[in-house]
Structure 1
Amino acid sequence: MAIPGNFTALPVVDIAPLFGTDPDARRAVVERLGETAREIGFLYVVGHGMAPGLFDGLLDAAKCFFAQDTGEKMKVYIGNSRNHRGYVPVGEEVIYGGTPDQKEAYDLSQDLPADDPDYLAGNPMLGPNQWPSLPGFRAAVGAYYDGVMAVGRALLRAFAEALGQDPTLFDSYVTKPPSQLRLVHYPYDPAAPGDALGISPHTDMECFTLLCVTAPGLEVMNGAGEWIDVPPVENAFVVNIGDMLETWTNGRFVATSHRVRKVKEERYSFPLFFSVDYHTEVAPLPCFTAGAAPARKPVIAGDHLFSVTAQGFTYLRKRLEDGSLVLPGEVSDTHSFGQHARHADGARP
């Protein structure tokens, strides 16, 4: 099993050749992406082709939304939705059974119509968004979502190539994915407890994440268990491998643990969690199960996503406790990926 090394900073990879016509330049980028995914699981990506204006519009929309009073934001409270969309107040989210995260958020995904068959059938992650009644909000946020998803599709093809596979290997699994975009606001609170994290240590549940932030705070764990600062880089995405790619590669790609420390200034964060279709069975590719390496247990992508989500949000945990919500399939172990699992097993570089 690959163990992330004792890195002290993240590499920067220019992915512009993924959108060009030079096969040698593309091959070099693919090799670099594969190397980083195996050894670290985190990197900066530049040359992605997204217009900076899309981020500016998203940031302005987020600032307008979070500046509203609590009552206005609660009109689109996530607990009012059937498919996990809307406003997440401070203290609503508790990851890994720790203290409540010191942040508020607005969560959305692919905006499907109310008559979508999966939504009507009760799928817990698919359907329409809850949009606030702010002028221009839906247009700005939707434009950013479409742009970052296009970058994600290009990266997914590159990661397939980095695994020695056809670039279209995963395309059929990304037709209606519950890929979530979060608008996250970390208020600065000097009175917060010294051990109050912005978000607790975790790995991401999907294939990978594309993140833009406005201020420092993100930290990633290296192979020695040390927390390494990940400062913002202008016009760059922070990309990290998630649970699904770790499973597909049988541990060759690393779902690296990360957290947000207690922030020293107001901070906005915009992660896009690139997922595959809800009912996709994710199992180690045969090329990674040859020899002595035991095969990871397959997971249903959406069931894993919703299982971990339901254990981390107060409104969903209440539904679990009163029996109005039953998790699909087997409950996912939130500590089975990344350094949580490796350190528990005593694995060290």
Structure 2
Amino acid sequence: MRNIIATACALLWALPAMASAEASHAQSSTPVINVVGVDHVGINVPDMEQAVTFFQNTFGFEPVTEIKDPPVDAGFKKLFDVHASSSVKSIKMLRAGDGANIELFKFDAPDADHAQPHYDDAAAAHIGFYVDDINQAVGQLRKAGVTVLTDPIVVNAGETAGDSWVYFLTPWGAKLELVSYPSGQAGERAAGVHLWRAQSVLSPTSGKSLDPQAVRTLVQGYVGMLNDTDAASRKKFLDAHYTDNTIFNDPEGLAVGRDELNELLGKLQARNRGWTFKVIGEPQIQHGNFRIQWKYGPASDPEKILGEDIVATQGGRIATTLVFLNKVPQ
């Protein structure tokens, strides 16, 4: 299925790569270790071939490595709380789009509990997959014969406003989730942290980031557009470098589409005549995203406002821009 990217329980980066902690909020303590991100999510499956086929055919996930019949002695079983009668038959790692890998375990376990846990059991867990269009994705799942528990549930209030989600079942009865929040969630701005979510600019196995020189060129034009007081001139750049339904999420308001963004920029410039927007340092690239730090102000106080923009691209065009303010006038 096109554009489905694994998210792993809706928390795929313990330290968000694009929104720095120092720019968003002070940490209460120093972490014991610095975690780069979530490498994989492990799940037990009753039939390895069935599980691999399901993930391949439904989502395009690709098996990469396999360990067959690893030796597991009594000491290991005791240490890891494995039934004495069990043996490990296979461990497979799947590449799951631009998210965490998925590790599948197949045990020969005659004494284990083979029933799926209840949703509220302590051992229950699930994986969430991010999709660009959740309604389309649900339709495709149902067409493929996958059991989807409800229609997409849209959240309109609270910290997760902007999120849509739905649960579906694997052939062996495990619950998985689809999530989508292309305009972000309300709580992201309040927390000053951008939740990680995969971008569809990557093919599932390409592993390629944006080209640094192309990003520099795009940023140069981006800066020029933000400083351009002529709406017609801005429109030319927007039409050439922004998607039709681009989203610009700014503290001043949410603009959806190029025309709304052009109007919003015009209002900001009219309010702050003579102010200049300048980028600080080089853009930081993370796969399909890039982050730029900037300053904005008049000649007498060029750093009157400091902030950073997190920009997501799609097909070489800007699809989403999240604006964070790190310093504002008191």
TM over 0.5: no
Q: Which has the higher contact order (CA 8 A, sep 6+)?
A: 1
Q: Which structure dedicates a bigger proportion of its chain to helix? A: 1
TM range (shorter): under 0.3
Q: Which structure dedicates a bigger proportion of its chain to strand? A: 2
Q: Which has the larger radius of gyration?
A: 2
